[in-house]
Structure 1
Amino acid sequence: MSDVGMKNSRPLSPHLQIYKPILTMVMSILHRITGAALYFGTILLAWWLVAAAAGPDYFEFVNELYGSILGRLVLFGFTWALVHHMLGGMRHFIWDMGHGFGTEAREWLARATIAGSVILTILLWIVGYAVR
């Protein structure tokens, strides 16, 4: 039997080059990326804890790395990823409860997640520097 006729009648699977990116699609991709970035940040946290257990000299070395401009930039990115992923999880929780499926509600939740993650991250860093 020949499958030539079946190949031509089957629909093509759409992919990212066919879909127009909408905010909720971008947020879904970003939620996955921030989730993956949290693995890297957890390694940094574990390294800091190991350094604290290893002794004051090694702890000071790791603190100097994290206190550098690049270190603080990475820690700021980790903080944003953590807050953004948390707010994205709350958005999914709202959907799990059966709310927020309308077009306007989905867009509002996506925009609130973006704005909230940026604002909360900046506030956390301001509080962190104020307490320090």
Structure 2
Amino acid sequence: MAANASRPLSPHLQVYRPQITSVLSISHRITGVALSVGTVLLVWWLVAAATGPAAFDDAQEFIGSWFGLLLMFGWTFCFWYHFCNGIRHLVWDTGYGLELPQVYLGGYIVVGASIGLTLLTWIVALIAW
């Protein structure tokens, strides 16, 4: 029994090479956390708008800075990635797309759609601005 005590209880990240399936799964969790944190920035902006012109100007100045825009760009990507990957999971829940080639194709579609939708969102926002 003592010889088995040093064995790992489950596979560890250091044992396996990263694959698209594991990277996308971890990324889905990370983007979920990033969306939660980024939503605090959005709430701050909305509360500042309701508070008054001085608070709103401060929020606008931060969000309009290069760092604020970088955060918003990242938040937009996280939103679209989490959205597209969530749809992929809903498709899996119906029993479709579970074969390995379909899983890989779906993963590449999620990444491509996330990048495309992020760029489209910002292009439309810049045109409207």
Which of 2, 14, 18 lines up with 1:21 in the alignment?
A: 18
Q: Distance in 2 between matches of 1:88 and 1:35?
A: 11
2:74 corresponds to which residue? Answer: 77
After TM superposition, the structure 1 stretch with the greater mean CA deviation from structure 2, 24-33 or 13-22, is 13-22
- Structure 2-normalised TM-score? 0.94
- Aligned residue pairs: how many? 129
Q: Which amino acid aligns with 1:92?
A: H
SS at match of 1:20: coil
Post-superposition shift, 1:12? 4.7
Q: Distance in 1 between matches of 2:3 and 2:17?
A: 30
Q: Give a deviation string over 1:70-96, Cα, whole Å, max 9, x none.
A: 110000000000110001100100100
1:45 corresponds to which residue? Answer: 42
- Structure 1-normalised TM-score? 0.92
1:101 corresponds to which residue? Answer: 98
Which of 86, 91, 100 lines up with 2:88 in the alignment?
A: 91
Runs of at least 4 residues off by over 2 Å: 3-8, 10-13
Q: Is 1:124 aligned to 2:121, yes or no?
A: yes
Q: Distance in 2 between matches of 1:17 and 1:11?
A: 11
Q: Give a deviation string over 1:67-125, Cα, whole Å, max 9, x none.
A: 01111000000000011000110010010010001111000000011111011000000
Sequence identity (%): 45
Q: How does 1:60-75 map to 2 (within 5 A)?
A: 60-75=57-72
Larger radius of gyration: 1
Q: Distance in 1 between matches of 2:31 and 2:89?
A: 15
SS at match of 1:100: coil
Q: Is 1:115 aligned to 2:81, yes or no?
A: no
The unaligned stretches of length 5 or more in structure 1 are: none
RMSD: 1.5
